[in-house]
């Protein structure tokens, strides 16, 4: 496991429990105590946690690292360009799923031109963006609210999703790779995304190039889940050729 992935794992553990022991990190990351202590020192110097005897505790900054507002600002222009291209695959009378990813959110701004569209989502920002456009039918899937991610999750959400079918699902990912498939920063986010993809006729993965050949915290599916990968034009040529050689349909902006 790389240092960056270890740090994300540590922060994720803190987000879930507010406290984590060195031994727990050793077991999760399969590294030595010396390596874990070094990682904790780096994260403490950045103000992301506070060291304790035998571990670390949350200091209030960590939840925002994974929050919707924080993530939506990253590579904003690339995300908008990806969604502009993705919108060309939508047709009148479509029923579409949109997950709560910050890239997928920007697809909302390209939907008002459609006269007859159904949108099923668990994302509050998507609902907020579409509220001024009553000609679009919006279905907000209920569940437990995560105020940081601004979305609804849980057994209720998954149960409600199982009742719908969609023509297309537009989903995001925290990371994707040929060897490990799709990954997410949150298990609950991954669970909802997977449910949407499984209930759609076609699945479009919207993902900026910084996430390609990158593994995030939690792996949840192979790339066979995806019919079309749409990314930005900053993807390197060798990586682009790798995906094409694996018969993965990939489009760039």
What mean pLDDT comes out for the span 15-30? Answer: 88
Q: Tell me which architecture the domain covering 3-65 has in CATH.
A: Orthogonal Bundle (1.10)
Q: Is the dihedral of CA 110, 112, 68, 205 positive or negative?
A: negative
Is 90 exceeded by the pLDDT of residue 2? Answer: no
pTM summary value:
0.74
Q: Are 204 and 168 in contact (CB under 8 A)?
A: yes
Residue 129 has a pLDDT of 92
Confidence check: pLDDT of 197 > 60: yes
Q: Please state, in angstroms and rounded to a whole number, the distance separating the CA atoms of residues 242 and 237.
A: 8
Backbone angles phi, psi at 204, to 5 degrees: -115, 120
User: In this predicted structure, what is the pLDDT of residue 18?
Assistant: 76
If one compares 95 and 186, the residue with the highest pLDDT of the two is: 95
Residue-wise pLDDT for 121-178, tens only, equals 999 999 999 999 999 999 999 999 988 888 999 999 999 998 999 999 999 999 999 9
Instruction: Kindly state the percentage of the chain with pLDDT values over 90.
Output: 70
Which residue has 């590579």 as its token pair?
A: 75
Q: Domains of the chain: which residue ranges?
A: 3-65, 69-252
Cross-strand pairs, 177: 181
Give the fold, CATH level 3, of 69-252.
Rossmann fold (3.40.50)
The encoded tokens of residue 202 equal: 């076609």
Q: What is the pLDDT of residues 48-105, one digit of tens each?
A: 788 988 899 876 544 444 555 555 556 789 999 999 999 999 999 999 999 998 999 9
Per-position DSSP letters for 129-172, written without gaps between them: HHTT-TTEEEEEPPSEEETTTTEEESHHHHHHHTT--EEEEEE-
pLDDT at 61: 47
Mean pLDDT, range 38-42, rounded to an integer: 90
């Amino acid at each position: 496991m790389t240092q960056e992935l270890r740090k994300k794992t540590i922060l994720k553990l803190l987000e879930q429990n507010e406290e984590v022991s060195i031994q727990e990190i050793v077991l999760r990351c399969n590294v030595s105590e010396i390596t874990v202590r070094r990682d904790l020192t780096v994260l403490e110097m950045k103000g992301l946690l506070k060291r304790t005897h035998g571990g670390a505790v949350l200091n209030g900054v960590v939840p925002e690292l994974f929050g919707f507002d924080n993530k939506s600002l990253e590579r904003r222009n690339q995300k908008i360009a990806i969604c502009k291209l993705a919108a060309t695959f939508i047709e009148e009378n479509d029923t579409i799923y949109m997950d709560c990813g910050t890239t997928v959110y920007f697809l909302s701004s390209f939907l008002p031109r459609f006269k007859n569209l159904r949108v099923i989502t668990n994302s509050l920002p998507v609902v907020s963006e579409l509220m001024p456009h009553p000609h679009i039918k919006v279905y907000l899937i209920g569940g437990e609210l995560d105020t940081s991610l601004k979305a609804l999750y849980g057994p209720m959400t998954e149960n409600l999703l199982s009742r719908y079918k969609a023509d297309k699902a537009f989903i995001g990912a925290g990371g994707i790779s040929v060897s490990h498939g799709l990954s997410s920063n949150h298990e609950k986010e991954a669970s909802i995304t997977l449910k949407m993809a499984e209930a759609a006729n076609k699945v479009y993965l919207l993902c900026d190039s910084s996430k390609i050949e990158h593994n995030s915290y939690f792996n949840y599916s192979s790339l066979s889940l995806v019919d079309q990968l749409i990314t930005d034009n900053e993807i390197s040529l060798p990586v682009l050729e790798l995906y094409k050689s694996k018969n993965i349909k990939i489009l760039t902006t």
